[in-house]
Amino acid sequence: MAQQLLSRALVSASWLSAALKESQAGAALRVLDASFYFPAIRNGRKEYAEQHIPGALYFDIDECKDKSSPYEVMLPSEDDFAKYVGKLGINNDSHVVVYDADQLGMYYAPRAWWMFKVFGHHKVSVLDGGFRNWLKQGLPVTSEVPQVKPETFKAVLNSSRVKNYEDILRNIDSKEFQLVDSRSEGRFQGTEPEPGEGVDPGHIPGSSNLPFTSFLTEEGYEKSPEEIRNLFQLKGIDLDKPLTITCRRGVTACQLVMASYILGKEDTAVFDGSWFEWFDRAQPEHKISQWKNK
């Protein structure tokens, strides 16, 4: 079989294709389609039903979340995550491979990858290049939804990898960690709108901006470790020091967590509520934006 890991977090389409031929999807190898779109210009679940990688199940990020929270896709509890993934036939020994069908190659899959990581599951990978490149390579697809046997999964949250509003507020003065925003420069600066309604663009004081798209090639693959390291260095981000990533709602932030993980940094945290929660709760002086001048 081809080399399992392209990096510390990625598997190739050729590896996954060979693994599926050799073992078939099952509890030992569970493939998940985490396609989800916001705003809802596409329907990830509907597209999954139409075609997906053979053996794959649908991982609904908008379902596997804290439904009591007023914020967008906050982490669920340990019990809720364990029950959700257990129903997908995943146990603590499963190798989980996540992909999505976004045109960028990898958009929501790193969020699902991070969720497994933060709940203590280490055998999880993202399909490099995503479904876009799976199709481009002419690899098989199906509309058949596999029937799976529920498994027992034990989730243990690593709370040091999750930052809350109070952590970020305190950090403005204490500067305990570097804070990096993965949204586009326009949304960060406040020169272009945030998607959806009720949230203006802007950023948290003291944060720097490194768009997640910087880490992807035009073809939708992750850039090389050397290129990734250079991107962090050019922004003055020290990977030897504490690092937290924010974005709109804790999704594209996970791209930067994955990128730093590829370089060997395993302690990068995510501000789970991200800008959506910050905009709702922070004082006006703690929301830096050019939007009000437009």
Residues with a known catalytic role: 247
Of the candidates 266, 257, 281, which has an alpha carbon nearest to the alpha carbon of residue 164? 281
CA-to-CA distance for 95 and 115, rounded, in angstroms? 14
What is residue 127's three-state secondary structure?
Answer: strand
C-alpha–C-alpha distance, residues 143 and 149, integer Å: 19
DSSP code for 284: G
Note if the bond before 195 is cis, omega within 30 degrees: no
- CB of 48 within 8 A of CB of 113? no
Query: What gap in Å lies between CA 291 and CA 174, rounded to an integer?
Result: 27
- 3-state SS assignment for residue 178: strand
Q: Where are the alpha helices (DSSP H) in the chain?
A: 13-23, 44-50, 78-87, 109-118, 130-136, 165-174, 185-189, 225-234, 253-262, 274-281
Geometric angle at alpha carbon 223, from 130 and 216, rounded to 5°:
55
DSSP string, 190-229: TSSPPSSSS----B-TT-EE--GGGGB-TTSPBPPHHHHH
In the Cβ-directed half-sphere of 52, how many Cα atoms lie within 13 Å?
26
